[in-house]
Chain A
């Protein structure tokens, strides 16, 4: 069973739509991250958290909110989706040297 599970795997939404991406980890890690991956940019950090109720701003936070409801669950919210947010989104959890990625969510905003 995957230690970091993302859902959905694929999502299509319209401009201005409301989207929630979900991530659950079973690693008992304190840290969780949301990244977006775009050609030519590598992985860019959107938001991260070091525990339930905690939220830290990443490097490209504009247009995104996040919430860490439990140790296991970290959500990424796009309240007014724009075409520029079309991307491949990865969630990860970490503790010390252990860093685990989910399988990714491909989001298309049309």
Chain B
């Protein structure tokens, strides 16, 4: 099975609403990263997490290594938040080889 499972696989939000994306891990993840691939295809790093939480503007992410999951919360969704969100986990002894989930495709509509 997938070592990193993302849910939901697709999501449609109205502008101004809130939502949460989730990653569940079947590996002993020690760090988690969240990326956004915009509709033009460019990938950008959103968060790098050890167990704990981080916040950046309208985005907030949490990583619980004991319960093997991470979340990405989007507050007050904007049109420019549309794209595909990927999480990637690195396991202990993983030699800096992150394993990616299959992504959550988000569309924010007016």
Contact B45 A42 (CB under 8 A): no
| Chain A, 79-110, CB within 8 A of any chain B CB | 88, 90, 92, 94, 96-101, 103-104
Q: Any chain A CB within 8 A of the CB of B41?
A: yes
Contact A99 B45 (CB under 8 A): yes
Contact B100 A104 (CB under 8 A): no
Interface range for A: 20 to 34
Give per-residue flags for A58-95: 1 if the beta carbon is below 8 A from chain B beta carbons, else 0.
11000000000000000000000000000010101010
* With A42-B102, A43-B86, A97-B48: A103-B42 Cβ-Cβ less than 8 Å: yes
| Chain B, 96-110, CB within 8 A of any chain A CB | 96-103
Contact B48 A99 (CB under 8 A): yes
Q: Any chain A CB within 8 A of the CB of B79?
A: no
Contact A104 B97 (CB under 8 A): no
Contact A42 B33 (CB under 8 A): no
The size of the chain B interface, using a CB distance under 8 A, is: 19
Q: Which of B42, B45, B100 contacts A43 (CB 8 A)?
A: B100
In the assembled complex, the CB of A40 is this many whole angstroms from the nearest CB of chain B, namely: 7
Q: Any chain A CB within 8 A of the CB of B56?
A: no
Contact B102 A40 (CB under 8 A): yes
Give per-residue flags for B68-110: 1 if the beta carbon is below 8 A from chain A beta carbons, else 0.
0000000000000000001010000001111111110000000
Contact B96 A94 (CB under 8 A): yes
In the assembled complex, the CB of A24 is this many whole angstroms from the nearest CB of chain B, namely: 17
Contact B42 A41 (CB under 8 A): no
Contact A56 B103 (CB under 8 A): no
13 CB contacts below 8 A, A to B, read A40-B102, A42-B101, A50-B95, A50-B96, A56-B95, A56-B97, A92-B43, A97-B48, A99-B45, A100-B45, A101-B44, A103-B41, A103-B42
